[in-house]
Amino acid sequence: MSNVKLAVIFYSMGGTNLQLAKWAEEGAREAGADVRVLKVQELAPESVVQGNEVWKRTTEAMKDIPVVTSDDLEWADAIIFSVPTRFGNMPSQMKQFLDTQGGLWATGKTVNKVVSAMTSAQNAHGGQEATILSLYTSMMHWGAIIVPPGYTDPVLFGAGGNPYGTSVSVGEDGKMKDAAQAEPAVKHQAKRTVMVAEWVKKANQ
């Protein structure tokens, strides 16, 4: 039984990264972790959100999920981020959250957090790896320990074989492609993140 505290932090407009976050939660709980699923604050105007049926529906589905705070980061031993790609980068909503964590960073409270990341895009070469790497760049500044899935389990190949983090493609209909293959890859990544966090936590005791 793990004693790792994991924060799954996501941003989702169409529901894909909400689903990835839920799968990560399931995988981490199976590994025995204490998990908090948290969304970042929406920055888009309410009128824009309400004017888009998919966005509006996703917002309604997430209404009971807490907005992440600095206290959640301080609580967590490990963090899994899940974000869509925006021109090969993380969304501004996630960037804004990370950019406001200077207080934690300055006091050394981001050091040795174990982190991993997942993403989505409309096609397989739509900036998925670049998006994950953009997030990992911030984590290097935090002094975090980055745990990519690599090629540590055959299930990863079924989900496209992205060694940086599980990434999925979304069709024009808004539905995730190959969801049946993505779910085990996400759960494996979550369990691997929890496992490494447990090693780190034991070493620091």
Give the CATH number of the domain where residue 189 resides. 3.40.50.360
Per-residue pLDDT, averaged over 80-95, amounts to: 96
Percentage of the chain with pLDDT > 90?
86
The tally of domains found in the chain comes to 1
Vertex 151: Cα angle to 130 and 35 (nearest 5): 75
Vertex 32: Cα angle to 132 and 93 (nearest 5): 30
Give me the phi and psi of 160, to 5 degrees please: 105, -10
pLDDT 10s digits, 162-187:
999 999 988 878 888 888 899 999 99
The residue segments making up the domain with residue 122 are 5-203
pLDDT at 179: 85
In this model, does residue 1 exceed pLDDT 60?
A: no
Per-residue pLDDT, averaged over 71-99, amounts to: 97
Average pLDDT score, the chain: 95
